[in-house]
């Protein structure tokens, strides 16, 4: 059996906030200690991590506590984006095995860390386990971390999000047990007898059907379907954006990469959004935050709130319909920092949808600098997305 609860506190005292959030998370556990706990906390609590971890351990009854810093915390129907906030998920189960971890970067932007995690979790190979990771994106490149994990762990699914903070002067932080660090990767391996589902919602809406790259060099997009890339983009833009200068339109437009080179069908959530970082109006060339190849399938995508909300609701409804007998017991939601109020203009849009459609599922999450999820059997780095990870018996 799996029992879980989630709690949020917006208190300013770290120790008191941790005890309050953990106490709320422990409610559904009927007085029994938790087997593990996950904590996401904003930068205001960064100077008192030992006190936070001690309070969570004392309240939940488990030393297996892991988590990271967050620009904002998401707990069961609420997104806290202003001021201090601290969220706790507490889980007790006789069929889940949790292995928290923390590894510091060795100066190679995540490759050695991935090897260390792989060695620690070697027993996860060829199993139904899932690994959740929270890297410091300013030190550990999430894409290199995934490359290393894939090389050491094989096809095990990896999900999570890059640690974040709203403070321009504060570093992100990660922790596990009583150990905390900067420039590291914290996370959790979950193994045992259980089911999990990972679903992705996009913050960008596809503009038209897939297009074929006909000329590209590294991250420079030269031609799409035989015409200059900028001309191809302009054909897809809504009328309201066509009159703008290209540099202004790019604030809301991106490139989406399809998983397979010749894909002609777009499945819900199955593409990787990458920013257009520069444009040359004279040549029609676009520079993209990804390497491109001739023959690759791409989409032009528009970042807009109505489409993002509709996509989120559709994704959550699909996960609800796919629930096994007994339903989901708990979940995580890793949401891009460019979503939330920044995208919608209102708070708690995604969290409200999750709570309404999955009303009895305790969910803990945070606003991330990048999101991580498996797609068609391979682990990928996402942007502008929300990644929902749900667990069932």
pLDDT at 325 over 60: yes
Q: What is the mean pLDDT of the chain?
A: 92
Name the more confident of 358 and 110: 358
**pLDDT tens figures, 62-110:** 999 999 999 999 998 999 999 999 999 999 999 999 999 999 998 999 8
Predicted confidence at residue 270, as pLDDT, reads: 85
Q: What mean pLDDT comes out for the span 243-265?
A: 76
Question: What is the pLDDT at residue 306?
Answer: 92
206 pLDDT tier (thresholds 50, 70, 90): confident
The confidence score (pLDDT) of residue 111 equals 87
| Residue 246: per-residue pLDDT | 62
Place of tokens 């292995």: 99
pLDDT of residue 86: 98
Which pLDDT belongs to residue 247?
Answer: 66
**CA 69/CA 164 separation, integer angstroms:** 6
Instruction: Provide the residue ranges of all domains of the chain, joining segments of one domain with +.
Output: 2-201+309-392, 206-302
Per-residue confidence at 369, pLDDT binned at 50, 70, 90?
Answer: very high
Q: Does position 244 have pLDDT exceeding 90, yes or no?
A: no
Q: What is the pLDDT of residues 172-194, one digit of tens each?
A: 999 999 999 999 999 999 999 99
Return the percent helix, strand and coil in the chain, to nearest 5: 25, 40, 35
Q: Tell me the average pLDDT across 229-236.
A: 90
The residue among 47, 87, 340, 49 whose CA lies nearest residue 169 is: 47
Adjacency order of strands within the sheet including 86-93? 2-9, 86-93, 36-41, 65-69, 174-176, 179-181
pLDDT of amino acid 29: 97
For position 127, what pLDDT does the model report?
A: 62
Supply φ then ψ for residue 357, to 5 degrees. -85, -30
Q: Is the pTM of this model over 0.75?
A: yes
Percent of the chain residues past pLDDT 90, beyond the cut: 76
How does pLDDT run across 120-139, given as a tens digit for each residue?
A: 887 655 567 899 999 999 99
pLDDT at residue number 44:
94
Does the pLDDT value for residue 250 go beyond 80?
no
Sheet holding 73-75, edge to edge: 78-80, 73-75, 363-368, 328-336, 385-392, 195-202
How large is the average pLDDT for residues 317-326?
A: 96
pLDDT greater than 80 at residue 354:
yes
Task: Give the tens place of pLDDT for each residue, 47-70.
Answer: 999 999 999 999 999 999 999 999
Tell me: pLDDT of 298 over 70.
yes
Percent of the chain with pLDDT over 70: 96
Q: Tell me the average pLDDT across 144-167.
A: 91
Provide the pLDDT for residue 153. 86
Counting DSSP H helices and E strands in the chain, the numbers are: 10, 25
Overall fold of domain 206-302: Elongation Factor Tu (Ef-tu); domain 3 (2.40.30)
Q: Write down the pLDDT at residue 377.
A: 85
Beta-strand ranges (E) seen in 225-316 are: 227-228, 253-257, 272-280, 285-288, 297-303
pLDDT of residue 73: 98
Q: Specify the pLDDT at position 238.
A: 81
Q: Residues 28-39: what's their mean pLDDT?
A: 97
* Nearest-angstrom CA–CA distance, 203 and 301: 9
């Amino acid at each position: 059996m799996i029992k879980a609860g989630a709690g949020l506190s917006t208190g300013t005292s770290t120790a008191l906030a941790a005890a309050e959030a953990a106490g709320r998370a422990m409610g559904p556990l009927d007085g029994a200690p938790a087997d593990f706990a996950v904590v996401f906390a904003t930068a205001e609590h960064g100077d008192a991590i030992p006190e936070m971890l001690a309070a969570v351990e004392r309240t939940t009854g488990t030393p297996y506590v892991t988590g990271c810093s967050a620009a904002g915390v998401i707990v069961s129907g609420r997104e806290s984006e202003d001021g201090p906030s601290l969220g706790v998920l507490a889980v007790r189960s006789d069929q889940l095995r949790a292995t928290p971890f923390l590894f510091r970067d060795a100066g190679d932007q995540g490759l050695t860390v991935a090897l260390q995690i792989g060695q620690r979790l070697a027993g996860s190979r060829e199993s139904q386990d899932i690994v959740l990771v929270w890297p410091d994106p300013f030190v550990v490149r999430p894409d290199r971390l995934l490359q290393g994990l894939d090389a050491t762990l094989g096809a095990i699914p990896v999900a999570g999000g890059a640690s974040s903070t709203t403070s321009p002067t504060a570093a992100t932080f990660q922790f596990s047990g009583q150990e905390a660090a900067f420039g590291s990767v914290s996370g959790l391996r979950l193994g045992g007898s259980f089911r999990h589902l990972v679903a992705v919602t996009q913050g960008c809406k596809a503009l038209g059907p897939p297009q074929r790259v006909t000329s590209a060099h590294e991250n420079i997009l030269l031609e799409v379907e035989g015409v200059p890339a900028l001309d191809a983009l302009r054909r897809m833009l809504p009328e309201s954006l066509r009159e703008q200068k290209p540099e202004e339109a790019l604030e809301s437009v991106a490139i989406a990469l399809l998983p397979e080179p010749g894909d002609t069908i777009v499945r819900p959530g199955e593409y990787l959004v990458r920013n257009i970082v520069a444009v040359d109006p004279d040549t029609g060339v676009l520079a993209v935050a990804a390497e491109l190849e001739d023959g690759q399938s791409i989409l032009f995508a528009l970042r807009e709130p109505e489409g993002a909300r509709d996509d989120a609701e559709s994704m959550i409804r699909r996960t609800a319909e796919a629930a096994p007998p007994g339903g989901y017991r708990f979940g995580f939601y890793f949401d891009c920092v460019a979503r939330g109020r920044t995208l919608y203009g209102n708070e708690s849009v995604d969290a409200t949808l999750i709570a309404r459609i999955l009303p009895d599922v305790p969910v803990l999450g945070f606003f991330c600098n990048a999101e991580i999820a498996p797609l068609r059997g391979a682990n990928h780095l996402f942007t502008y997305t929300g990644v929902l990870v749900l667990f069932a018996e």
